[in-house]
Chain A
Amino acid sequence: MNRRVLHILLPLITGVLFLTVWHVAVKMSGSDIFPTPRHVLDGLGELVRQGLLLKYVVASLFRVSWGFIAAVLVGVPLGLALGWFRPAYAALNPFIQILRPISPIAWIPVAILWFGVKDTAPVFLIFLASVFPITVSSMAAVQNMQQVYLRAAQNFGLGGLELFRRVIFPAALPQIITGIRIALGVAWLVVVAAEMIAVNSGLGYLIIDARNAGKRYDLVVAGMVMIGLIGLVLDVLVRRLEKFDEVRWGYGQR
C-alpha cells in the first residue's frame, strides 16, 4: 500500500470510528450534558462566527511561544553547562530535581502574586513547565555523548570554546531536539492550567469560562479539540526538525 495513503487513510478511519463511538455512547447514556460530536462542531462554528476562535488560538499560541522559547534559551545553555562542568552539576542538579516534579498548577498562587493577571503570569507558568525537561535532556545529551567524538576532537587539538562549538554541541544536538519536542508537548499541555489565572482570552480560558457559564460543555470539548489539534500540528513541525542533516544521524535507522 502506498505510504502516503497509509498515513492519511488509517488515521482517518480511526477518527471516524472514534467519532461514531463517541456519538453512540452519548446518545445511549441519555446524558443531557455531555456533548455529541455534532454539538462540538456547532460550538466551534459559534466561536468562529463570534470571531473568538482566532483570538483565543492566537492568545494561547502567543503565551506558549514566549514561555517555551524562553525555556529553550535558558534551558539549553544551562543543561549543556551542567552536563559539562561536574562542579556545576553537583551544585545545581539536586535543586533542579527538587523543583522539577512541582506541578505548574502549584505555582499559580506564586505567579499571581508576582505577576498579577497580565499575560506574564501564564507565560511564566509555561516557562516553568518547559524549562525542566529541556535542561535535563540537554544535560543528559552531554553526559551520554560518545567518548570517541571527544577523543578524536582532542586529538585534533581542540579545546575550550572551539571544542564545544564544533564537537560537543553538534554531538548533543539530536538529544536536545528530543528534549525540546517533549517540552513543547508539556508546554502546550500546561496552557489550560496557565490560563486559569483570570486572563480573558485563550483556549484554556475558553474551557474554564465555558464551565462557569452554565451548561456550555460543548464549548469545553470544543476547546479540548482545538488544543489537541494544535498540539498535533506542533509535534509534526518539531519532527521535521529531526530531518535536518545535522541531527538525522541521531535518531536510529528505520
Chain B
Amino acid sequence: MGNAEMENIITVRDCWMSFAGKEPGAEVHVLERVNLELAQGEFVCIVGPSGCGKSTLLNIVGGFLEETRGEVNVEGALVNGPDPGRIFVFQENGVFPWLTVEQNIGFGLLSRLAAERDERVRHYIAMVGLTGFEKSYPRELSGGMRQRVEIARALAADARVLYMDEPFGALDFLTRLKMRSDLIRIWQAEKKTILFVTHDIEEAVQLADRVLVMTKRPATIQDEVKIDLPRPRDLDSPGYLGARDRIFSIMGMDAHGGGAA
C-alpha cells in the first residue's frame, strides 16, 4: 500500500463539511465521510445528484473552503489555501473581462521574462484553438471560447493539477462535445491531473479514467466506476453504454433516466 500512496497526488480522508443553517444553531450537513485518492496524471470525474455537494468538495480540495473535519492532502502537504500549481477552472466568468485573451492567459506568468511569457502564451493559444483572437476581449467571445481561455490560462501557468467545476455546463450541446474532445487532446499532450465535477453522466463517461458517484446530501462517495476504454470514446460501444448504465443504476435510476430519485 505504501508505494501506491506515494503515487497519490490527492488524498482526501474522512472529510466532513457543515455550514451554518438559517436558524441560529442549526447546521446544514453537506459532506460526510468522504474518502478519495487521485494518482498523478489521472482524469477523475465526480458525479452526483443536484446539490449534493460535489462543488463544495472540489472547493475544499482546491483550498477555497475549509473542511469541518478530516484531512485533505495534495502533493504531499495539507491543503490550507489555493496554490498556483493547482488551478481551479470555474463554470462561468472565471476569465478577467478587463484583460485581453493574451493578457488573461499570461496572467500567471508575470514573473517570467517577456520573451518566455509571449512564447508560452502563443503556444497555449494555439493549443486551445484561439489563434487570431489574442487581442480580443472576453465579452467579444462565445462562452466556449471563454472557457478555452480559462483552460489555457491554467496550463500556461504550468499548473500540475486542474480542478474543473462543471466547466462546460453553460455551453450548448455541440460546443460541449467539441470542448470535451479538445480537453482530452490537451490532457493527453500535457499529462496533467484532472479532478472534474459534472452533473452530466455521459460527460463523465466520455472523459474519465474513473467516475466517483456521490449520494444525496449529506453526501459521501458511494461507489466508483473504472472506465478502461481507449479515447476518443465510441459513444455506441458496449463498454461505454455499460459504464453509463452502471452509473445510472448506482444512482438509483433505470436505463431510461427515470426511477427512484
Is A–B contact present in the complex under a CB 8 A cutoff?
yes
| Chain A interface residues toward B at CB < 8 A | 146, 148-149, 151-152, 154-157, 167, 170-171, 173, 245-250, 253
Q: Is B196 an interface residue (CB 8 A)?
A: no
Closest residue of chain B to A173, judged by CB?
B98
By the criterion CB–CB under 8 Å, are B84 and A151 in contact?
Answer: no
Report the Cα distance A164→B68, complex, angstroms: 30
By the criterion CB–CB under 8 Å, are A170 and B96 in contact?
Answer: yes
Q: Is B108 an interface residue (CB 8 A)?
A: yes
By the criterion CB–CB under 8 Å, are B139 and A152 in contact?
Answer: no
By the criterion CB–CB under 8 Å, are B98 and A157 in contact?
Answer: no
7 A-B pairs whose Cβ atoms sit less than 8 Å apart in the complex: A148-B94, A151-B82, A152-B90, A152-B94, A156-B107, A170-B99, A253-B139
Residues of chain B contacted by A157 (CB below 8 angstroms): 82-84, 108
Q: How far is the CB of A171 from chain B (nearest CB, A)?
A: 7
Closest residue of chain A to B107, judged by CB?
A156
Q: Is the interface of B mostly helix, strand, loop or mixed?
A: loop
By the criterion CB–CB under 8 Å, are A154 and B81 in contact?
Answer: yes
Residues of chain A contacted by B9 (CB below 8 angstroms): none
Kindly supply a per-residue 1/0 record for chain B positions 94-106, scoring 1 wherever the CB is within 8 Å of any chain A CB and 0 otherwise: 1011111000000
Contacts A154-B82, A155-B88; A249 near B138 (Cβ below 8 A): yes
Contacts A167-B96, A245-B98; A151 near B88 (Cβ below 8 A): yes
By the criterion CB–CB under 8 Å, are B82 and A247 in contact?
Answer: no
By the criterion CB–CB under 8 Å, are A249 and B139 in contact?
Answer: yes
Q: Is B187 an interface residue (CB 8 A)?
A: no
Report the Cα distance A253→B138, complex, angstroms: 13
B84: contacting residue among A148, A155, A246, A249, CB under 8 A: A155
Name 15 extra pairs, CB < 8 A, besides A170-B99, A248-B137. Answer: A148-B90, A148-B92, A148-B94, A149-B93, A152-B90, A155-B83, A155-B86, A156-B108, A156-B157, A157-B83, A170-B98, A245-B137, A249-B98, A249-B138, A249-B139
Closest residue of chain A to B150, judged by CB?
A152
By the criterion CB–CB under 8 Å, are A149 and B87 in contact?
Answer: no
Contacts A154-B82, A155-B88, A156-B157; A149 near B96 (Cβ below 8 A): yes
The 5 closest A-B pairs by CB, nearest first: A249-B97, A157-B84, A155-B82, A170-B98, A156-B108
Report the Cα distance A146→B93, complex, angstroms: 9
Closest residue of chain B to A171, judged by CB?
B98
Q: Is B240 an interface residue (CB 8 A)?
A: no
Closest residue of chain B to A253, judged by CB?
B139
Residues of chain B contacted by A248 (CB below 8 angstroms): 137, 139
Q: How far is the CB of B135 from chain A (nearest CB, A)?
A: 10
Chain B: number of interface residues, binned into ranges: 20 to 34
Report the Cα distance A249→B104, complex, angstroms: 15
Residues of chain A contacted by B93 (CB below 8 angstroms): 146, 148-149
Q: Is B64 an interface residue (CB 8 A)?
A: yes
Residues of chain B contacted by A167 (CB below 8 angstroms): 96
Residues of chain B contacted by A171 (CB below 8 angstroms): 96, 98
Q: How far is the CB of A166 from chain B (nearest CB, A)?
A: 8
Report the Cα distance A246→B88, complex, angstroms: 24
B88: contacting residue among A152, A250, A253, CB under 8 A: A152
Interface centre among B84, B92, B98 (most CB of A within 10 A): B98
Residues of chain A contacted by B94 (CB below 8 angstroms): 148, 152
Residues of chain B contacted by A245 (CB below 8 angstroms): 98, 100, 137
Closest residue of chain A to B157, judged by CB?
A156
Kindly supply a per-residue 1/0 record for chain B positions 63-84, scoring 1 wherever the CB is within 8 Å of any chain A CB and 0 otherwise: 0100000000000000001111
Q: How far is the CB of A154 from chain B (nearest CB, A)?
A: 5
Residues of chain B contacted by A151 (CB below 8 angstroms): 64, 82, 88, 90
Closest residue of chain A to B98, judged by CB?
A170
Residues of chain B contacted by A155 (CB below 8 angstroms): 62, 82-84, 86-88
Q: How far is the CB of B89 from chain A (nearest CB, A)?
A: 9
Kindly supply a per-residue 1/0 record for chain B positions 117-133, scoring 1 wherever the CB is within 8 Å of any chain A CB and 0 otherwise: 00000000000000000
Report the Cα distance A155→B87, complex, angstroms: 6
By the criterion CB–CB under 8 Å, are B108 and A247 in contact?
Answer: no
